[in-house]
Copies of this chain bind each other. A is one copy, B any other.
Amino acid sequence: MSKLLIVGTVAFDAIETPFGKTDKILGGAATYISLSASQFGVHSGIVSVVGGDFPKSYLEKLNSKNINTDGIEIIEDGKTFFWSGKYHNDLNSRDTLITDLNVLANFNPVVPESFKDADFLMLGNLHPSVQMDVINQLPKKPKLVVLDTMNFWMDNTLKELMEVIAKIDVITINDEEARQLSGEYSLVKAAQKIYTMGPKYVVIKKGEHGALLFHEDNVFFAPALPLEEVFDPTGAGDTFAGGFIGYIAKTGDVSFENMKRAVISGSNLASFCVEKFGTERMENLQQSEIQQRLLQFKQLTQFEIEIN
A279-294 CB mask vs B (1 if < 8 Å, else 0) is 0000000010001001
Q: How far is the CB of A22 from chain B (nearest CB, A)?
A: 21
**Does A64 count as interface, using CB distance less than 8 angstroms?**
no
How many copies of this chain does the complex contain? Answer: 2
The segment from A23-31, A223-231, A235-243 that touches chain B is: A223-231
A15 within 8 A of B: no
B188 A212 Cβ-Cβ under 8 A? no
A298 touches B294 (CB 8 A): no
* A302 contacts chain B at the CB level, 8 A cutoff: yes
Q: Which of A98-106, A111-119, A139-147, A214-222 contacts B (4 or more CB under 8 A)?
A: A214-222
Contacting pair B261 A305 (CB below 8 A): yes
Asked if A1 is at the interface of the complex by the 8 Å CB criterion, the answer is no
Write the nearest CB–CB distance from A286 to chain B, whole angstroms. Answer: 12
Task: List B contacts of A221 (CB < 8 A).
Answer: 223, 226, 300-301
Q: Mark A197-214, 1 if CB is under 8 A from B, else 0.
A: 000000000100110100
A304 to B302 Cα, complex, angstroms: 10
